[in-house]
Amino acid sequence: MAQVRWPRVMLKLSGEAMAGGRGLGFDVAAIDAIAREVGEAKATGAEIAIMVGGGNIMRGARTAEADRDRSAADSIGMLATVQNGLALQEALERQGHDTRLQSAITMSAVAEPFIRRRAIRHLEKGRIVILSAGTGNPYFSTDTAAALRALEVRAQAVLKATNVDGIYDRDPHKHPDARRYRRLTYDQCIEQRLGVMDLTAFTLCAENDLPVVVFDLGAPGNVRRAVLGEDVGTVVGREP
């Protein structure tokens, strides 16, 4: 078995990843592909928790900008993440993986409540733990929830899956000569305003020396490579 760099990780998946190239709703093929990627990473022996977003269904902050109450909008967004969690759980279990879906909002008919010790025990037993409903509170993004839960379950890194292969000095979609960073410090990200995560999430990681790996989910095998510590994106940590 390959040597993993981080034996326990928090994988942050955006809701948009669940929609494939469609932007909204569910793409069954895309969800199945994500499940395969997670399964390959799990085969390394790593313990994997997953925080899912809900942007393919509802994004609270964006809805609140249209003159809607932010608390209500965020609550709807948190419920959207539960739907994504259920879809991912079904795909993973269909591929033979033992999973548990936990929610920060109590809804016992479809998910366990998030209980830190129970989540850790599931991970120790080799189950993939899918975390939904963010922190259970409005005004906090799922990036912040991923950082918080990672610290709570004692993960060694947050793996942030995106649609680009790391952090660049400029937008690589607009600037072909943009340079990708292999490693960055927390201070460099803040000083250069690189927007790795929202500030609350990033501050949590920086204050607790929790590395963040930003990588491209679309390249097959990248989740596994990220777990193994291979050069698949950008690692943000205390040392350059």
Helices (H), the chain: 15-18, 28-42, 60-64, 70-94, 116-124, 142-152, 186-191, 199-207, 222-228
The reported pLDDT for the residue numbered 22 is: 83
Structure tokens at 88: 């991912």
Mean predicted confidence (pLDDT) in 4-23: 93
Please give the Cα distance from 211 to 183 (Å, whole number): 10
| Mean pLDDT of the 114-137 span | 98
Q: What is the average per-residue pLDDT within 75-90?
A: 96
Distance between CA 65 and CA 69 in Å, rounded?
A: 9
Mean per-residue pLDDT of the chain: 93
Q: Which span out of 15-24, 49-58, 66-75 was modeled with the highest average pLDDT?
A: 49-58
